[in-house]
Structures are given as C-alpha cells and as structure tokens.
Amino acid sequence: MRNAMIALATLLVGVSLGLPSFAAAWATPGAACTQEGANANSDGFLTCTGGVWVSNAVLMGTTSAACDSTKAGYIRYTGGKFEGCNGTGWIQLASSSKLRVYKSDGTTVLGNHLGFFGTPEFGYSMCIYTIYADETTGITKWLNANDCNEQAVNTSVYFTGADCSGTPLLGITDLTGYCCTGSGTCTTNKCTAESGTASSRTVASYRSYQGSCVSPYNNTVATYVTRPPLCGDSSCIVK
C-alpha cells in the first residue's frame, strides 16, 4: 500500500511540473513560461527558453512533386531558393532582386529585371523591350517582339524534307513563321531565326505564313536555323 501511494504521488508531481515531453497550454512568443524546454501549442513552434516562449527556426525540406490545386500553399527549399505552390506551379518566394523576368510559364527565370527600353505608356508592351541581366551569364539583354511571341507570322518556313518534315529553317532573322511539321495546314509552333550566319541549304518544302505546306519544292536557299520564342507560348512575365 505504501509503495502504491509513493508511485501515485510521483505521478502527480510530474504532471504538476509539466514535463518537457508534454505540450503546454496555448502560448504566444514572448509570454512568460516556467518549465524550461517545454513545447507550446501555438500558431508556430515555441519552446520555453529563459523564462519566455521563443519561436524555433523551421527547417524547410524539398519535394519534386508537381504543384497542383491539392498542394496550394506548400513551401519548399530547392536550388538555393524558397518556392511556394500557388496551385498551378512553383514560384520563387524571395530573390536578391526586386523584380525578375520569367518565361510565360511563370517559373522559368530569365534573369533580374533592369528596366525597359522605352516605357509601356508610350505603346510598348510589358514584355517587348524589357531589359534584364541573364540568370546564367549576367550579361545584359533585352526582349523583342519575336522573343515575346508577339510578332505576327510574316514569312515562310523552309524544311529540309518533303511535306514540311525535317529541319525547319528561316530565311531572315527578324521575321517569324510556323515551324510545325506535317503536310497539312498548321498555325502552331511559332518560331524565329537563331542568331548567327545564314548558310545555303537544300530544302524540299516550305510552309507559307498562312500555314499551308507546299511540296515538292527542291531548291537551295540561304537560311538560318530556327528556335521557339524565348518567352514561350506568350509574353514573358515581370514580377
């Protein structure tokens, strides 16, 4: 009987002291506390340290999961930066620059925003003539209508194969065309010419600026290798 009473008294003393393994009552940072090392129920992670509730640092992990509506609000740390899921994609939460330039997907960074060559008030879009420091090289660059996919299709695209197959090529650098393959009419996959020197190449077909494919067409013309617009399917984003 005596041993049972001692055990009960020890249990009651432990409960009254609030051992660190038990969660304390709801608390706020800076409020007084008595049990050193105890944890508190709160909006964050608090520990009783030096007589007051102190916020703990939170170690943020990473994930390769795709961001969708079920993960909206999630935060991860990856590639040296914090990112948050907005329900459709991962976006950077903090940056050394106030504004950055992204492709139209809103996640692929081109570089730090430096300003505009002209201003939108004078008729320029928020993408065309955007000046930025390249993310990889730091070199100052600017976007044009072809980069922003805002240039109307205004030239034919040549193909090395018949029926608009093979490698798409453009005859001049400051124009754009449809690089989609196949013999049918196609008005997707806009492309512009890659910078460099034009070379004479043998081509077998071409797609007109209206999207129709013309074949056979055997000729040798000076052309540039093509590339998709730098920003993607639509204009780049500054945010």
DSSP 3-state assignment of 151?
A: coil
The pLDDT value recorded for residue 88 is 83
**Lowest-pLDDT range of 44-53, 87-96, 106-115, 163-172:** 87-96
Q: How many residues does the chain have?
A: 239
pLDDT, average across residues 60-72: 85
Please report, as a single letter, which amino acid is at residue 193: A
Is the predicted pLDDT of residue 204 greater than 90, yes or no? Answer: yes
What does DSSP assign to residue 127?
Answer: S
What number of other Cβ atoms are within 10 A of residue 191's Cβ? 22
Interior/surface letters 2-24, b for 16+ CB within 10 angstroms, e for the rest: eeeeeeeeeeeeeeeebeeeeeb
Contact 46, 27 (CB under 8 A): yes
Between CA 5 and CA 83 the distance in angstroms is 56
Mean pLDDT of the chain: 80
Please give the share of the chain, as a percent, with pLDDT higher than 70: 81
Distance of alpha carbon 233 from its chain centroid, rounded? 14
Q: Determine the number of helices (DSSP H) and then strands (DSSP E) in the chain.
A: 1, 20
End-to-end C-alpha distance for the chain, whole angstroms:
73
The pLDDT value recorded for residue 113 is 87
What number of other Cβ atoms are within 10 A of residue 128's Cβ? 22
Distance of alpha carbon 177 from its chain centroid, rounded? 27
Contact 211, 191 (CB under 8 A): no
Is the predicted pLDDT of residue 185 greater than 70, yes or no? Answer: yes
Is the predicted pLDDT of residue 148 greater than 70, yes or no? Answer: yes
Between CA 7 and CA 9 the distance in angstroms is 5
The pLDDT value recorded for residue 27 is 77
pTM: 0.55
Is the predicted pLDDT of residue 121 greater than 70, yes or no? Answer: no
The pLDDT value recorded for residue 14 is 38
Please report, as a single letter, which amino acid is at residue 11: L
Q: Could you identify the residue written with the tokens 């989609």? A: 180
What number of other Cβ atoms are within 10 A of residue 1's Cβ? 4
Is the predicted pLDDT of residue 194 greater than 60, yes or no? Answer: yes
